[in-house]
Amino acid sequence: MLKLADQFKDGVTSSPIRRIMEMASPDNLVKMGLDPNDVISFAGGWVNHEAPEELRQEYIAIAKDRDLFHKTGAYSPSDGSPELKKALIDFNQQIFGAASKEENIIIGANSTQLAYSLFKVLLNPGDKIALLDPAYANYPEQIEMGVNCQMVCFPVFDEEKWAFVNDEQKLITDFEQFIEKEKPKLLLFSSPDNPTGTMVPDFFVKKALEITLKNDCFVAIDFAYNTFVYTTDQPEYFTYSVADYPNLVKLYSNSKWCRGLGRRLGWLEADENIIQALKVVQQCVVLCPDTIHQLTLANYINKGLKDGSLATYINRINEDYKSAAAFLCECINKYLSPRFTLPQGGLYSVVDVGMNGDEFVENVLKKTGVIFVPGGGFGDSLKNGIRISFGPLVYDKAKIEEGFQRVAKVVKKLSINSGS
């Protein structure tokens, strides 16, 4: 087995997504004859709205208070501050109607670290971990790097219809067979989903929890995008509690909703024994989450829930992203392809480009300076697709349209618009 550093030297672990991001680095763009300032990127999995002003004010208040600032220079408990846990319980209750208990929560540096730590807690070498196909592209790499486990994928995307499989009965029967055959110890998926923007349907989650429970398998739902919901109602499982569903693990992050990407924290809800084991793993990995972000977030949540400003903020931001999602879909339909997923939440849509996504993305970047992400890195079902993110351009519809106008010229020339 090669050391990881050697594998990188040999290019073994270079994922298609990382390749495109390397290709789109400013130095490389210049080498390709492109002006980095003129490039339009639909690749970034990040949000671009402002953090709540009240949150900024909390940082200011802490920085101004000499004693408080000194206190935030101390380690917090390994599993996070009890004050923030209490605030997060209120947040989940008031924003999503979900009940949680302090003993079922651990706060981590971010949800990426918590997912990685969860693998260490739930999986033994040789165990299987199940993902949906397609899935967030970071999961396979985390699994590959973190644990000596086999990844198995359950297909949920209908390439013909270019949508989440909608034959409920068949999906459940196939899922049951898949779980009984593969016997994974953990199923992990995000909802709203990265990359398709789909909300994993209630019927599937309900049944999946039942089937997996019978087969000694946990279900971890990654709620990184749970405040970005464009359907009339949120899914029912947003309110499921780990007290009622013993094999459920809920993974949360403040990266997206309060634009906390660079100030982020994650938290996880699960059975108390899992939380205790995670605490030990977390001690080894990060020792504890950042104190200043925990204190600031707890203060902000407590005040924002009380005066209603937090719910107002979340609703306003949700409307902004909903509007950008609708505009993006108009542009995709008008300029690129009628086959795309309608975002029900989150930041993304996937588009059928009728040819290998890697080649499409490389060609379009070279000719137009527009960057997409090839779909294959998210799963086989999207190999002829691309992922489009509207997060960074949420307030720049003119740029969204300009990007598609540029692409339309090249797409027409190559006649790669499948149009079916």
Ligand X SMILES: Cc1ncc(COP(=O)(O)O)c(C=O)c1O
- List residues near ligand X by CB under 6 A: 45, 110-112, 136, 190, 194, 222, 224, 253, 255, 264, 266
* Token pair in block for residue 210: 């039942």
Q: Of all residues in this chain, which one has the CB nearest to ligand X in the complex?
A: 253
Compute the least distance from the CB of residue 230 to ligand X, in Å. Answer: 17
Compute the least distance from the CB of residue 300 to ligand X, in Å. Answer: 17
Compute the least distance from the CB of residue 255 to ligand X, in Å. Answer: 3
Compute the least distance from the CB of residue 264 to ligand X, in Å. Answer: 5
Identify the burial level of 44 via C-beta atoms within 10 angstroms of its C-beta, where 0-12 means exposed, 13-18 middle and 19 or more buried: middle
What DSSP letter does each residue of 103-162 carry, written as one string?
GGEEEES-HHHHHHHHHHHH--TT-EEEEEES--THHHHHHHHH-S-EEEEEE-EETTTT
Between 41 and 253, CB nearer to ligand X: 253
DSSP 3-state of 353: coil
Compute the least distance from the CB of residue 376 to ligand X, in Å. Answer: 17
Q: How far apart are CA 299 and CA 93, in angstroms?
A: 17
Amino acid identity for residue 329 in this structure: C
Compute the least distance from the CB of residue 268 to ligand X, in Å. Answer: 11
Between 354 and 392, CB nearer to ligand X: 392
Between 190 and 344, CB nearer to ligand X: 190
CB neighbour burial string for 213-252, b if at least 16 within 10 angstroms, e if fewer: eebebbbbbbbbbbbbbbeeebbebbebebeebebbbbbb
Between 95 and 258, CB nearer to ligand X: 258
Between 335 and 348, CB nearer to ligand X: 348
Between 292 and 407, CB nearer to ligand X: 292
CB neighbour burial string for 7-21, b if at least 16 within 10 angstroms, e if fewer: eeeeeeeebbbebbb
Q: How far apart are CA 322 and CA 237, in angstroms?
A: 21
